[in-house]
A = this chain, B = another copy of it.
Amino acid sequence: MITAETAERLKLAIRSIPDFPKPGVLFRDITPVLQSPELFRQVIDAFTDIYEGRKINVVAAIESRGFIFAAPVSLRLNAGFVPLRKSGKLPYMTYKVHYSLEYALEAMEMHVDALKPGQRVLLMDDLLATGGTAQAACRLIQQAGGIVESIAFFIELSDLKGREKLHGYEVISLVQFP
């Protein structure tokens, strides 16, 4: 797990940027954490501690910041790495889901042979906001016959209640902001 002290250090390193990507949004910028080998390692260590010893076959990563966490975690857990990407990026046959995010209609794809039925999947992304993207990712995983074992985020924006949208799934976040 993660100690309160480590969580506090990580929160202090996250940079808050007002009005990005649009007016009224306070963006949580994780690049200062990634830039510090020590802090980035603490994040990956925390995820590893949580999931080590659990039966996870595949870590599925939401493009593109999710890749940054999911790649090292998949190696630590000795699990496969599967990218979930925006429409048109994956070259082979795909499953595709559409979902709405605020004003825009988005689509996400996963290769049809990315998972074997019954495989246990840890879904990862950098940040949980409304939960719409993660919910779409769960649908993709289940369409392929995978089992969503857990969903892990570095940051959770609690006021946006993404956790409620993801009810029925285990949801883990390392640090929380309102």
Cβ-defined contact, A34 with B82, below 8 A: yes
Contacts of A72 in B (CB 8 A): 71-72, 75
In the bound complex, what is the Cα–Cα distance between A114 and B17 (angstroms)? 16
Contacts of A81 in B (CB 8 A): 34-35, 40, 68
Contacts of A15 in B (CB 8 A): 92
Q: Which of B21, B35, B63, B85 contacts A82 (CB 8 A)?
A: B35
A→B interface (CB under 8 Å): 15, 17, 20-21, 27, 29, 31, 34-37, 40-41, 44, 58, 61, 63-65, 67-69, 71-72, 74-75, 78-83, 85, 88, 90-92, 111, 114
Cβ-defined contact, A80 with B29, below 8 A: no
Cβ-defined contact, B31 with A78, below 8 A: no
